[in-house]
A and B are shown apart, each in its own frame.
Chain A
Amino acid sequence: MLTKQIKCPSCNTLTIVTGNPGEETYITCSQCGSQGRYIFPSEKTGHRSFDPHIALEVNGLMKTYNKSYAVNNVSFTVPKGEVFGFLGPNGAGKTTTIKAILDLIRINAGEIKIRGIDVHKQGKEAKKYVGYLPEKVAFYNGLTALQNLQFYAEMKHASKEECKTLLADVGLQDSSQKKVGAFSKGMIQRLGIARAVLGNPEVLIFDEPTEGLDARGVVMVREKIRDLQKNGATVFVSSHILSEIQAVCDRVGIINKGVLVAEDTIAGLSRRLNLKPRITMTLENLSDKIVDAVKRVDGVDLVQTQNHQIEVVCDSQTKVKVILAIAKAGGNVLNFQTMEPTLEEVFMRFTEA
């Protein structure tokens, strides 16, 4: 049985509710009569003592703006050394979640821990381990790139010498003495990445890291994330560019309308949605007989043909049966390609409602 104190978004009156993990309850404020829904955190993500393998833990996060839920009972954990992708349509609650993780906003309910340190109670201590790249990267325009980084280095107690190396890492060595006010959007984004990794933080939070970057910059970000992971850092990436997430993330969380609708590896989510790989084969002699033979194979969901190509959607175990059926029908396979379900398909399925 869990007991939670929930603050009314209209009048801030506290209401105490009790319930079982995962249970949904409806609350009516005793003061103003406002009504709302609350889901008790599941046992999986419920309160636990500090686990050194967990870098980031969000539990029962709730935030309202003007009486509507921006984030409703979001819970997830990011193990140390993982690259976690945080996806969602515009306005789903991605940035609100990130701001709550960094204690930039006041939350209505929930608990957030970075390396086991409560962000709300010991924000200063928790933020020692964090590097942050905001969605809207901004600097002090009157200062040069180097002066800006040195200011943040001073605040983070990081070495000022590191700044020059970082500027070179993000390709800004030639612009280090230029005022940031004269920088392009891409240059500011690169400088933002340098600021985020300043002082080698253990947990990195990137909100739309490839925003405004050219192709070279996108590759740089991808490589940077992989380098950070290699060095043991945990990276939390929020992006709407699904290919970017798919390229670098170990696991993803999908948020829709303020609710975390899924949290797993892409393969795991595909399995949950029963999404199957797509097999494309080029045949020397594609005929109706072959197509009929493939359609008759158990476990085949979709068969499409185009010129000499046949496209089949089936699970991995059925692949062999399909090839055997083609061979039996007299087909000769010239080329064979398997495409696993994409993150885009997973994302669309989870957010279509």
Chain B
Amino acid sequence: MKAQVMFSIAKKEILDNIRNKWIIILSIIFALLTIVVSYFGSLFSQGWQDLGLTIAGMLSLVEFLIPIIALMLGYAAIIGEIERGSMSSLLALPTLRLEVVVGKFIGLACVLTVTICVGFGVAGVIIAAMVTEVNYVEYLVFIVATLLLGLVFLSLALFFSTVFKKRSTAMGGAVLLWFVFNMILPIIMSGLLVSIVGLENLVKGDMSMVPSWYYGVQLINPISVYAGIISTVIEPASMMSQGEIPVTYPDFYTPPFLFSLLVLWIVVCLALAYWRFSRKDI
């Protein structure tokens, strides 16, 4: 595997996204959303919220936005080129299919990294200048976790891009995936929680009956892993997500473990994308 080949492919992906203004548009969206949430997001106080409260306010938005943005960025990366006909020329060059998959991932990951870092970074600097108490570590954790969540969905999108035979079906698949992780799985998990704890106990806020395997099952959804990281590291987010109900996470719910899970998701999805792509007739 040659780094130069992968970087050439990555560079082309980055240039493509600079040209179609994705990087600028996404950075502005992230920055504006953060600033708006920080200034108008709290019902309890007026004006700028500190970074912790801003993250807490942003959590649901990020869980919705980042996956769909990453999926849209990556769903056509492979199938789009196959459909257009440029993949055959690319693979007729002295390249390995693994270099193509990794090169595309690096390029798109750079696009996502720049947009998240610039968007949230600029907003963070503005908010930090407006408030007195600033916890930079918490904000950094938020940015890194958000980036990893984006990369998980980007690698999933790349895998989907190798599975389907048409760009349009890959797009449909990506949207369905987003729907599954954002809607279907949370509904299933809520149903499971009600059946375990009972509706009465849940209304009362008695979460003591929730077994630790439930939290384990929850981790099959990378969005839940992301929420777990934010809730365990950033105090206001933890309080906001739990409301009046105190949640005691099991011992294995540690930030390093949760971060590792997101990384594992990325590695597995990329491996699957390569495996599928290496068996694909172009």
Write the residues of chain A forming the contact surface with B, with a CB cutoff of 8 angstroms. 99, 102-106, 123-125, 127-128, 130, 132, 134, 136-140, 142-143, 151-152, 154-157, 192, 195, 205
Contacts and interface: CB of A to CB of B under 8 A. Distances in A.
Given A130-B92, A140-B12, A151-B8, A106 B84 contact: no
B8 A132 contact: no
Contacts of B16: 140, 142
6 contacts: A103-B91, A132-B89, A137-B85, A151-B8, A152-B93, A157-B94
A155 B95 contact: yes
A346 to B, nearest CB: 30
A162 B86 CA distance: 21
A218 B16 CA distance: 33
B23 to A, nearest CB: 14
Interface string B254-277: 000000000000000000000000
Contacts of A192: 89
B244 interface: no
A154 B12 CA distance: 11
Contacts of A123: 96
Contacts of B84: 138
From B8, B16, B86, B88, name the one whose CB has the most chain A CB atoms within 10 angstroms. B88
A106 B8 CA distance: 26
A127 B20 contact: no
Given A106-B279, A155-B5, A136 B85 contact: yes
A221 B180 CA distance: 53
A75 B16 CA distance: 42
A142 B19 contact: yes
Q: Which of A99, A130, A140, A143 has the most CB of B within 10 A?
A: A140
A132 B86 CA distance: 12
What are the nearest 6 A-B pairs in CB distance? A138-B85, A132-B92, A136-B85, A105-B281, A104-B282, A138-B86
B37 interface: no
Nearest to B81: A138
A127 B93 CA distance: 6
A125 B94 contact: yes
A225 to B, nearest CB: 18
Given A102-B88, A138-B86, A154 B281 contact: no
B15 interface: yes
Contacts of A124: 94-96
B163 interface: no
A104 B85 contact: no
Contact of A139 (B8, B86, B91, B281): B86
Contacts of B91: 102-104
B8 A99 contact: no
A181 to B, nearest CB: 11
Interface in B78-108: 84-86, 88-96
Contacts of B279: 106
A279 B249 CA distance: 96
Interface in B48-102: 84-86, 88-96
Interface of B: 4-5, 8-9, 12, 15-16, 19-20, 84-86, 88-96, 279, 281-282
Nearest to A152: B93
Nearest to A102: B92
B281 A134 contact: no
A158 to B, nearest CB: 10
Given A142-B16, A142-B20, A104 B92 contact: yes
A30 B279 CA distance: 24
Nearest to B90: A155
Contacts of B85: 134, 136-138
A60 B257 CA distance: 52
B8 A155 contact: yes
Contact of A140 (B86, B95, B96): B86
A105 B86 contact: no
B12 to A, nearest CB: 6
A127 B92 contact: yes
Contacts of B19: 142
A195 B89 contact: yes
B86 to A, nearest CB: 4
Q: Which of A105, A124, A127, A136 has the most CB of B within 10 A?
A: A124
Nearest to A154: B8
B94 A99 contact: no
A257 to B, nearest CB: 20
A155 B16 CA distance: 17
A243 to B, nearest CB: 26
Given A123-B96, A151-B8, A152-B93, 15 more contacts: A102-B91, A102-B92, A104-B282, A106-B279, A125-B94, A130-B92, A138-B84, A138-B89, A140-B86, A142-B16, A142-B19, A155-B9, A156-B94, A157-B94, A205-B92
Contacts of B95: 124, 127, 155
A105 B91 CA distance: 11
A138 B5 CA distance: 20
Nearest to B279: A106
Contacts of A134: 85, 88-89, 92
A125 B16 CA distance: 29
A192 B89 CA distance: 9
B88 A99 contact: yes
Contacts of A151: 8, 12
B206 to A, nearest CB: 55
Contacts of A154: 4, 8
A134 B81 CA distance: 14
Nearest to A105: B281
